[in-house]
Structure 1
Amino acid sequence: MLDGHVLVDAHVHVPVLTSLAPAWIQWARDFGPEGILDRVWDAEGRPRPAVLAELFAEQGVDTALLFCEYSPRATGYQRFDDLLPLVEHDPQRFRPVANVNPHLHFPIAAEVRRQLDLGAAALKLHPVHGGFRCDDAQLYPAYAVLEERGVPLVVHCGTSSFPGSRNELADPEFLLPVARDFPGLDVVLAHGGRGWWYDAAAFMALSHPNVWIELSGLPPKRLPEYYARYDLRRLARRWIFATDWPGVPGTAANARAVVGLGLDDELAGLVLGGNARAVYAGLDHLEHLAPPPPGGEPA
C-alpha cells in the first residue's frame, strides 16, 4: 500500500528484451530510472521475477498489470506467454494483460479466450503500433468474448514517437461504436488522449458509464492543463492510475503527485486502486487491503 491506499499500477511493460525493437530499449533508458534495465533484466534479456517483485514492493505497488504487445511494425513481438513466469512468481502482485493484433491472430476470439484462460486481467489493443482501427468489424468477436467474460478492453489512446507508429489511429472516435455496441464492456483509454485528444477522451469518460481514463505516460502536474475544460475532481472519478513503467522516474512519486492535485482521501482511494479493482478482472485479492469506509464494512 502507499500512504494508506491500495496502489495498482495498471500499465507496466516487462518484455523479454530480445523481442524488442531498439527504439523501445532507448525509450526505457531515456525516461526510466537510471540503470533500470541492468537491475531488472538478466544478461539474456529476461526480467528477473524476484527483483521485479521487490522493486514494486518498495514503491508500494500492491498489483501491477503487465503488458505485452504483438506489434512487429513498431516495437517488436512481445509474447503474452513470456509474462507468465513473473505471474507465477508473485501471482498477487502481478497480473498479465492480453494482447492481440488482427493482422497476426486468426481466429481472433480463440486467441483472446486462450490468453484470458491463462489469467489475463484485460485485453490491450495497440492500434497505433499494430496498424488497425478499433472499430474494425474483425475485432468484434474479441469484444464479444470480453463482454461475456466481464473483462475490460484497454486501448492505446494517444500519440507514440516510436518509428512505424500510425498516430492517426489513436483517435478515440473509433471507440464510439464499440462503447455503444458493447454497453457491458468497460473501455479504458490508455494515455487518456495524449496528444490532441484530451477533450475527446474526457467527454467520452464523462458521458459513457463504461469508459475510463488511464493515466499512463501523463505527467501528473500537467493533468490540470490537459483537462482544463473539465472539472478535475469530477473527471478524476473516471481515472485509473498507471505509469507506463519503466518509462517513468518513480511509481510512488507519480502516485503521490496525482493525489497532490487536490484529491481528497476518498477520491485518492478510487484513483490509486479502487477504480482498477472495479474494472479489471482478477483483482479480488485486493479487497482485504482496502480500508473500510467510515462506519461500514470493507469496500
Structure 2
Amino acid sequence: MCADEVMQVREIWGGLGLTGIIDVHTHFMPKSVMDKVWNYFDSAGPLTGRPWPITYRMDEARRVDTLRAFGVRRFTSLIYPHRPDMAAWLNQWAAQFARDTPDCLPTATFYPEPEAPGYVDAAIRDGARIFKAHIQVGDYDPTDPLLDDVWGALEDHGVPVVIHCGSGPQPGRFTGPEPIRRLLRRHPRLALIIAHMGMPEYDDFLDICLSSEAVHLDTTMAFTAFAEEVMPFPAGQAARLRAAGNRILFGSDFPNIPYGYREALTAITAVPGIDDAWLRGVLHDNAARMFDIALPSD
C-alpha cells in the first residue's frame, strides 16, 4: 500500500459524495488456509488457468489496515471449504475474526455433509450475517439433498450467500446458471449474491437477477482488464445493468487480485451507460440497505 494508491481510491468514492465504500467480497482466512490459497494461485493451477500474482500478499493486520485506509467501511471474511469436516472449523475462526474486527461482517460457510444444518444454524445464532459458497472449488451440486435444510434456514432467516457459481475462471462440474435456477425453484426467497457477476455467463445471471427480487450480483473482477482479456462483459447491457442497479454490490476479491484495488473501482466507473447514482448504490448504498448499515446522509 502506498499513499498515492490510498489517495486515488479515496478520490473515486469521495467524488461521488460517499463517506466510504462497502466491499462484500474480501477474503480473510486462517493463515494456513490462506497460504495454501496463495500457493495455488502461484502455481497457476487448473482452476485459475493463467498466471495470477497476488497484489496484497501481506500479513493479516496489514491487510485490514489497507482496507481501512482505502475507506472500506465494511468488508467480509469469505471462507470456503474444499472438502468435508472443514466448514465448522472455518466458521469458528471467522466468528472470532469478526469479534476482533468490528468492521468485518460476521461470515460463515458450509459444505454438503450431514453436519451442515447443525453448524449453519449455530453460525446464524452466533450472528453470522453473510455466508460463502464456492461451487467450483467445493465441486458440489448446490441442489445436493444434504444442503436442503441449509438453504431452507438461510432463506427463512434472510441471510445472504455470496455464491461462486459462474464458470469462470474455469468451468466446474456444477457451475453455470442451471443449477442455480433449480435451486431457486426450491427456495425462491433465497438471498443469493452471485459472485463475479456470474462470469462468463453474465447474460444468464443477469436474467436470474432481474427475475428474482432476492438475487443480487457482485462486481468482483468484472469489467477489469484482467477479466476482459478472457471473459469480456457483453456489450449493449447498459439498460439491464441499470434495471438491476439496486441489486448489484461492489466486490473486489481482496487480497487475491492480480492488480491494484484502484482498478477494481475505476473499471466500474468506466462502465458505459451508468451514472453517479448507480455507482453510489453499487459502491455503498445497496449493501448498506442489505446489512442495515447507516447511509452517508444518516
Q: Tell me the TM-score range normalised by the shorter chain.
A: 0.7 to 0.9
Alpha-carbon displacement from aligned partner over 1:177-216 (angstroms, at most 9, x marks no partner): 3323323221111122223x11111111112212111111
Structure 1 position 53, deviation (Å): 2.9
1:185 has 2:194 as partner: no
Where does 1:1-299 land on structure 2 (aligned, <5 Å)? 2-3=13-14, 4-5=17-18, 6-19=20-33, 22=36, 24-27=38-41, 30-33=52-55, 36-37=56-57, 39-40=58-59, 47-48=60-61, 51-72=62-83, 79-91=90-102, 93-102=103-112, 105-159=113-167, 167-195=172-200, 197-220=201-224, 225-230=232-237, 231=239, 232-248=241-257, 249-261=259-271, 262-279=273-290, 283-284=291-292, 286-287=293-294, 290-292=295-297, 298=298
Distance verdict in 2 for CA 1:233–1:95, change over 3 Å: same
Higher strand share: 1
Runs of 4+ in 1 over 6 A off after TM superposition: 75-78
Instruction: Determine if contact 1:95/1:119 at 8 Å carries over to the other structure.
Output: no
Contact kept, 8 Å, 1:212 with 1:238, in 2: the verdict is yes
**Does the 8 Å contact 1:65/1:94 carry over to 2?**
yes
Give the aligned residue type for 1:96.
Answer: P
**1:15-66 Cα distance to aligned partner (Å, 9 max, x none):** 2232357453352794332xx32x32xxxxxx33xx3332111111010111
Q: Normalised by the size of structure 2, how large is the TM-score?
A: 0.78
Alpha-carbon distance between aligned partners in 1 of 2:63 and 2:99, rounded to the nearest angstrom = 13
1:133 positional shift: 0.8
> Counterpart of 1:44?
none
2:72 partner SS: coil
How far has the Cα of 1:271 moved from its partner? 0.5
The C-alpha deviation readout for 1:225-278, integer Å capped at 9, x for no partner, is 513253233344432110111122333442243123253222112111222233
The Cα shift of 1:119 comes to 2.4
CA displacement 1:147-172 (0-9 Å, x = unmatched) = 221211221122356xxx86131112
State the identity %: 22
Aligned alpha-carbon RMSD (Å): 2.9
Q: Which amino acid is 2:196 matched to?
A: H
Q: Which runs of 5+ in 1 are unaligned?
A: 41-46, 293-297
Structure 2 residues without counterparts, runs of 5 or longer: 1-9, 43-50
In the alignment, the residues of structure 2 paired with residue 188 and residue 69 of structure 1 have an alpha-carbon distance, to the nearest angstrom, of 15
TM (norm. structure 1) is 0.78
Q: Whole-Å Cα distance in 2 between the matches of residues 24 and 76 of structure 1?
A: 19
Give the SS at the match of 2:165. strand
Distance (Å, rounded) in 2 between the aligned partners of 1:246 and 1:20: 10
Aligned length: 268
